[in-house]
Structure 1
Amino acid sequence: MFNMHATTQLLHSIPVDPQTGAIAVPIYQTSTFVQDAPGINRGFDYSRSNNPTRQELEKIVAKLEGGTTGAAFASGLAAIDAVIKLLESGDEIIAVDDIYGGAFRLFEKVYKKFGITVNYVDTTDLGAINRAITSKTKLIWLESPTNPTLKISDIRAVAEIAHRYGILLCVDNTFASPILQQPLKLGADIVVHSATKYIGGHSDVIAGLVVTREEAIGTQIKFYQNACGAVLGPFDSFLLIRGLETLPLRIAQHSRNAATIAQYLESHPLVDKVFYPGLTSHPQHGLARQQQKDFGGVISFSLRTDTEAAAISLVTNTTLFHLAESLGGVKSLVSHPASMTHKSIDAATRKAAGVKDSLIRLSVGLEDPTDLINDLETALAIVQATQSENGIAQQLHHC
Structure 2
Amino acid sequence: MPSSRSPWSKRSLTAQAMGHVDPITKGVVPPIHVATTYIRDEDNAYSSGFVYGRPDNATIREAEEVLAMLEEAEAGALLFSSGMAAATAVFQALDQGDHIVASKVMYWALRNWLMTEAVRWGLQVDFVETDNLDALAKAVQPGRTKLVWVETPSNPLWTITDIAAAAEIAHAAGARLAVDSTTASPVHTRPLTLGADIVMHAATKVLNGHSDVVAGALAGAKADAFWARIANIRKMQGAILGPFEAYLLMRGMRTLHVRTATQAKSALDLAQRFSAHPKVARVLYPGLPQHPGHDIAARQMENGFGYMLSIQVSEGEAAAIRTAARVGLWKRATSLGGVESLIEHRASIEGPGTPCPPDLLRLSTGIEDVEDLYRDLDEALRG
State whether TM-score is above 0.5: yes
1:122-153 C-alpha deviation (Å, 9 max, x unpaired): 11111101111224211001111000000010
Residue identity in the other structure for 1:81: T
* 2:12 maps to 1:8: yes
Match of 1:301 in 2: 311
Match of 2:203 in 1: 195
Match of 1:58 in 2: 64
Alignment of 1:6-155 (within 5 A): 6-12=10-16, 13-37=18-42, 39-41=44-46, 42-67=48-73, 68-134=75-141, 135-155=143-163
In structure 2, distance between residues paired with 1:300 and 1:265: 10
Residue identity in the other structure for 1:285: H
In structure 2, distance between residues paired with 1:72 and 1:5: 23
User: What secondary structure does 2:281 align onto?
Assistant: strand
In structure 2, distance between residues paired with 1:337 and 1:371: 23
In structure 2, relative to structure 1, the CA distance for the partners of 1:175 and 1:368 (3 Å cut) is same
Q: Is the 8 A contact 2:191 2:199 kept in 1?
A: yes
Match of 1:365 in 2: 366
In structure 1, distance between residues paired with 2:319 and 2:119: 35
Match of 1:181 in 2: 189
User: What secondary structure does 2:255 align onto?
Assistant: helix
Residue identity in the other structure for 1:28: H
Q: Offset of 1:38 from its aligned partner?
A: 7.4
In structure 2, distance between residues paired with 1:367 and 1:235: 27
In structure 2, relative to structure 1, the CA distance for the partners of 1:323 and 1:207 (3 Å cut) is same
In structure 2, relative to structure 1, the CA distance for the partners of 1:119 and 1:299 (3 Å cut) is same
User: What secondary structure does 1:171 align onto?
Assistant: strand
In structure 2, distance between residues paired with 1:113 and 1:122: 24
Query: What do you get for the CA RMSD once the two structures are aligned?
Result: 1.4
Deviates more, 1:9-18 or 1:182-191: 9-18
In structure 2, distance between residues paired with 1:14 and 1:142: 33
* 2:204 maps to 1:209: no
Residue identity in the other structure for 2:369: D
Residue identity in the other structure for 2:308: V
Which structure would you say has the larger Rg? 1
Alignment of 1:266-345 (within 5 A): 266-293=275-302, 294-307=304-317, 309-340=318-349, 342-343=350-351
* 2:246 maps to 1:237: yes
Residue identity in the other structure for 2:133: L
1:262-295 C-alpha deviation (Å, 9 max, x unpaired): 1111011111110001111111111111100111
1:86-115 C-alpha deviation (Å, 9 max, x unpaired): 211111111111111111121112111111
Alignment of 1:368-379 (within 5 A): 368-379=369-380
> Normalised by the size of structure 2, how large is the TM-score?
0.94
User: What secondary structure does 1:316 align onto?
Assistant: helix
User: What secondary structure does 1:260 align onto?
Assistant: helix
Residue identity in the other structure for 1:7: R
In structure 1, distance between residues paired with 2:228 and 2:165: 26
1:149-208 C-alpha deviation (Å, 9 max, x unpaired): 000100001101111111010000100101111000000000000000001100000000
Match of 1:156 in 2: 164
In structure 2, relative to structure 1, the CA distance for the partners of 1:80 and 1:121 (3 Å cut) is same
In structure 1, distance between residues paired with 2:181 and 2:322: 31
Match of 1:220 in 2: 229
Residue identity in the other structure for 1:229: G
Percent identity over the alignment is 39
In structure 1, distance between residues paired with 2:329 and 2:39: 50
Q: Offset of 1:3 from its aligned partner?
A: 4.4
> Normalised by the size of structure 1, how large is the TM-score?
0.91
In structure 2, distance between residues paired with 1:296 and 1:116: 33
In structure 2, distance between residues paired with 1:306 and 1:204: 33
Match of 1:389 in 2: none
User: What secondary structure does 1:205 align onto?
Assistant: coil
**Number of matched pairs:** 373
1:22-53 C-alpha deviation (Å, 9 max, x unpaired): 21122012222222247522211111110000
Deviates more, 1:296-305 or 1:234-243: 296-305
1:289-311 C-alpha deviation (Å, 9 max, x unpaired): 1100111111111112232x222
Match of 1:397 in 2: none
Match of 1:255 in 2: 264
Q: Is the 8 A contact 1:14 1:60 kept in 2?
A: no
